[in-house]
Amino acid sequence: MHGEDDDEIWCLRVAKKHAEEARRDLIARELLDRAHRPRVEGEDLLLPLLGETAGAEKGVFAAFPGREELPRHELVGGIAILLEEDNEGAERVLHSRPSLHTVLYPTSPVEGEFRTREFAVLAGEETTRTVVTEHGHRFAVDLAHAYFSARLSTERQRVWSAMREGERVVDMFAGVGPFAISLADQASLVVAADLNPAAVSLLCENIAMNRKKNVLPMIADAAHLPGIFGRTFDRVIMNLPMESSHFLSAAFALCRPGGTIHFYALQDEEGKYLDAIRAFPVAGVVERRVRSYSPAEWHAVYDIVVGE
């Protein structure tokens, strides 16, 4: 029987043991419908969705009383980041989930060489540190001192699934290591470099927390990596979306012929960086949209197969 507040909407069926991972993935893809209560069916959990996606089915869900009135926010581990400065709303968000310990409001844009932001604590513990679980890995993050975005989790999985066992990988702008540590599962070696000492300190914590023995962390300018390692890598990750193009020559000087460079860029027109990429020896290039950034801009990734 359906109640008065029940709605028929799209949902994703997942095994209960994978539910938390799937829930975080849907949050990162901005697809989870928080206004409806997830439902158990046998060994499965049905997660309500904001729209149709691959593998989705229709189901009937009860509305969560009051949930839809929470202010808009993004979740990063035990921290909620509010999009508006709303102290009363922050308290309600804090108490909406037992996993939350802090509610923050950004007081600056993402800025500077280290791509960090400043925050005010609106509710809960006075901290910008938390631990994020993503596809079986755990990452210590400090949102005020090192860049981290949960929104790239699907992209990390996509790159991981394109890899072959035993590859040598270099992550030129590694941050706290979400790409480096995820890809280490398949790689023989991952070199993970970042200019920000606070990011590399968290990266070291994350290597230990995830028991990785094949990730080499370093405080280094990505431009200096070819001088240290030469053209020895099968795969290069370039995730510095505003300025990656300045480092294309370093990426080509690190990647062996036949290897792949994943070049991330913020852009407002299709193919914006194709000419810059084709100035180097390229055997093939595929451009994809990763996620939208503003009404006119999006994060794109160019998967480049390096030529001779």
Residues of the shown chain interacting with ligand SAM in the complex, contacts defined by CB under 6 A: 113-115, 146-149, 152, 173-175, 178-179, 193-196, 199, 221-222, 239-240
Considering beta carbons, is residue 194 or 205 the nearer one to ligand SAM?
A: 194
Q: What's the closest the beta carbon of residue 273 comes to ligand SAM, in angstroms?
A: 16
Q: Is 234 left (phi over 0), alpha (psi -120 to 50) or beta?
A: alpha
Considering beta carbons, is residue 10 or 116 the nearer one to ligand SAM?
A: 116
Q: What's the closest the beta carbon of residue 251 comes to ligand SAM, in angstroms?
A: 12
Q: What's the closest the beta carbon of residue 225 comes to ligand SAM, in angstroms?
A: 8
CA-closest candidate to residue 188, choices 158, 161, 222, 212: 212
Distant-in-sequence, close-in-space partners of 110: CB < 8 Å, separation ≥ 6: 116, 117, 147
CA-closest candidate to residue 51, choices 19, 22, 12: 12
First to last CA, the chain: 65
Considering beta carbons, is residue 10 or 233 the nearer one to ligand SAM?
A: 233
Q: What's the closest the beta carbon of residue 226 comes to ligand SAM, in angstroms?
A: 12
Considering beta carbons, is residue 290 or 304 the nearer one to ligand SAM?
A: 290
Considering beta carbons, is residue 124 or 241 the nearer one to ligand SAM?
A: 241
Q: Name the maximum alpha-carbon separation found in the chain.
A: 68
| CA gap 114, 240 in Å, rounded | 10
Considering beta carbons, is residue 14 or 152 the nearer one to ligand SAM?
A: 152
Asked whether the beta carbons of 265 and 299 are under 8 A apart, the reply is: yes
Q: What's the closest the beta carbon of residue 72 comes to ligand SAM, in angstroms?
A: 22
Q: What's the closest the beta carbon of residue 140 comes to ligand SAM, in angstroms?
A: 13
Strand boundaries in 16-111, DSSP class E: 39-41, 44-48, 57-62, 73-76, 79-82, 102-106
Phi and psi, residue 295, nearest 5°: -55, -30
The residue nearest ligand SAM at its CB is: 175
SS3 49: strand
Phi and psi, residue 125, nearest 5°: -65, 145
Considering beta carbons, is residue 122 or 141 the nearer one to ligand SAM?
A: 141
List b or e across 252-263, with b for residues whose CB sees 16 or more CB atoms inside 10 angstroms: bbbbeeebbbbb
Q: What's the closest the beta carbon of residue 199 comes to ligand SAM, in angstroms?
A: 5
Considering beta carbons, is residue 31 or 181 the nearer one to ligand SAM?
A: 181
Q: Which residues pair with 84 in a beta bridge?
A: none
Q: What's the closest the beta carbon of residue 129 comes to ligand SAM, in angstroms?
A: 15
| CA gap 273, 123 in Å, rounded | 42
